[in-house]
Amino acid sequence: MSLMHVRQIETHVRETYSDGWVANLSEDANLSRLLARYALDLAQPVQANSDALQVEVTDHGDDGGIDAVAVDPRTNLVTLVQSKWRKDGKGSFDLNSMNRFVEGIRNLAEIDSTGIVSCSAEMKKYVSVALSKPGGRLLLVVVTTASEPLSDVVRAPMNKLLGIFNDDPDSDPIATFKYIKQSDLFSSIAQIPRETINLDLSILEWGRLREPKSAYYGRVNALEIARWFETHGESLFSDNIRLALDNSEINDGIFRTAVSDPELFWYFNNGLTILAETIDQSIAGSVTRDAVNLRLIDASIVNGAQTVSSLGRAMRAGREHELKQAYVLVRCIEIGGDEAPDLARRITRYANTQNAVLGQDFVFLDPEQHRLAQELRSLGFTYLLRSGESSGDADLSSVIDVRLAAVSLACASGDIGHAVTAKREVSKLFDRDSGPYKTLFNPQVDGVYLGHVVEAVSLVDYVLDEESVSSDGLRAGVAVHGRRIIAHLVLKSIGTKKLRDPYLDFKTELEKVPGAVLELLDGLVSKFPENAYPGNVFKNRTRCEELISEMSTRGRA
């Protein structure tokens, strides 16, 4: 059956990606290109709104070991693919190809600078930006029409590379590996029906829309929803663009609210959207608007996967008493009819593209921020406190947004851990409970100090942006990932007294910054640990302190 499967896979990629065929390449080379492109789509954990992906197929004679690249700017996921078309469908992926793939990844991720970078300069920039952001991740994919699994010998170079990327035990893995062989490809193109789920639920204080589609809405008890998850698991989300996210900050917050403030859960939570082929309403009890019993036929939760899974987690933790006190806003929409597939896709897409309210947005309620805005205005700066706020016709060089302010103050802190947090997870800087927010923004921080540290950090970023473009390999990697530590050291050398001095000619201090940045960059590169990924090192306080100590020892020598 192997040859038949390969032919069906070939038909699928030819029909789906026909515009990727290159006239001057052989048939096998073209099929390898199309297979690489298919693997990009197949490997994405989020399938909806694929228009947001930046995609490039690089498979050609000089591809440097990487055949296709995709960057999702929403999630900062970089997917790299190596493909191998086997017409006979036999064998497995070979060691030489794996070594070339690993070498290409090292070059593109700026661990090495000894080989070919496998993509265009524009795509390289997308990759660099994604990996420099908190939460940036790599998905490394080998895809082949061969039928056999990877041998341990072939897998070994990839395992070694994963060890470099994922060597921080306190962080989630940066890189993961996926091997897609013939049977996986064939399964992906076969029409496998999803599980049909019917849900019974009681909605309190309910309402109904009859046109253009029948829909019900109201309050549903959280324990009832938790039991759905206990029974059906992630099959509930078969049409959702997201599955449940393990150990996410959002899920932890939902769980805490459900068990600590269950009576307020309805007010704090955005609720669920459920699509169903048909909705049957029970006659009993539906005369009034107090309660109605519904049966949802062929149901799928398309918005609210994190809420449902978090309530299921609370149930498994034995918190049924609290769940009985919590309620969730639920919308049930009947989508039966000829237009059902298109309508379902549209509802799913728009229900999941609402703007999230971030911790950063709540700083607008902090009086200290408004004090700083007034002080900065008197100094000629425009301070933006809200996401999406316009600076009007202000000179962009004098505009400071609150995110830049937080990063700059973190770099200026005497605690290097705050600079590491600015690299690792900027959102933590706005955590008013367990994070450093009150240390960074307090009555002792005035407009002069904030203006000075922002100017210095912005100049550090400018210098390192230039260096990251003009450099390759490790130097470029340190320029991208090490900038918060470099800014911390630059600000430390300027000193708090000068940073707070309203009468100082700060332009004189800024003139010294570019030289200091380049000297620090050279020092960090010269002492950087071998076979280490810069994105990991600069997210780890201990490793940053060790690297700075090594560099200081070199300077004294």
Single out the residue of 178, 173, 179, 157 nearest to residue 531, CA to CA.
157
End-to-end CA distance of the chain: 68
Burial of 330 (0-12, 13-18, 19+ CB in 10 A): buried
Amino acid 15: pLDDT: 87
pLDDT score of 46: 43
- pLDDT confidence bin for 62, thresholds 50/70/90: low
Share in percent of the chain as helix, strand, coil (round to 5): 50, 15, 30
Crossing angle for the helix pair 249-260 and 305-316, nearest 10 degrees? 50
Give the integer Cα–Cα distance in Å for 480 and 129: 8
- Of residues 357 and 369, more confidence is placed in 369
Query: pLDDT digit string (tens) for 259-314?
Result: 999 999 999 888 999 999 899 988 765 567 788 999 999 898 888 888 998 999 99
State residue 345's pLDDT score: 67
Residue 253 exposed, middle or buried by CB count within 10 Å (0-12, 13-18, 19+): middle
pLDDT at 1 over 70: no
For residues 196-208, give the mean pLDDT. 92
For 226-232, what is the mean pLDDT?
Answer: 92
Mean pLDDT of 400-418: 95
pLDDT beyond 70 at 31: yes
pLDDT in tens, 474-502: 899 999 999 999 999 999 999 999 999 99
Considering the entire predicted model, what is its pTM?
Answer: 0.64
Q: In this predicted model, what pLDDT tens digit does every residue of 412-455 receive, in sequence order?
A: 999 999 999 999 888 889 988 777 999 999 999 999 999 999 99
Single out the residue of 195, 196, 210, 206 nearest to residue 331, CA to CA.
Answer: 206
Task: Give the angle 121-123-129 at the CA atoms, nearest 5°.
Answer: 100
Q: What does the pLDDT read at residue 335?
A: 87
Q: Is 458 exposed, middle or buried (0-12, 13-18, 19+ CB in 10 A)?
A: middle
DSSP string, 141-201: EEEES--SPPPHHHHHHHHHHHHHHT--TTS--SEEEEEE-HHHHHHHHS--PPPP--EEE
Q: Count other Cβ atoms within 10 Å, centred on residue 437.
A: 22
Give the list of residues 6+ apart from residue 331 with CB closer than 8 angstroms, or none: 215, 216, 217, 271, 272, 273, 274
* Averaged pLDDT, 383-400: 81
- The mean pLDDT of the chain is 85
**Confidence band (pLDDT; 50, 70, 90) for 213?**
confident
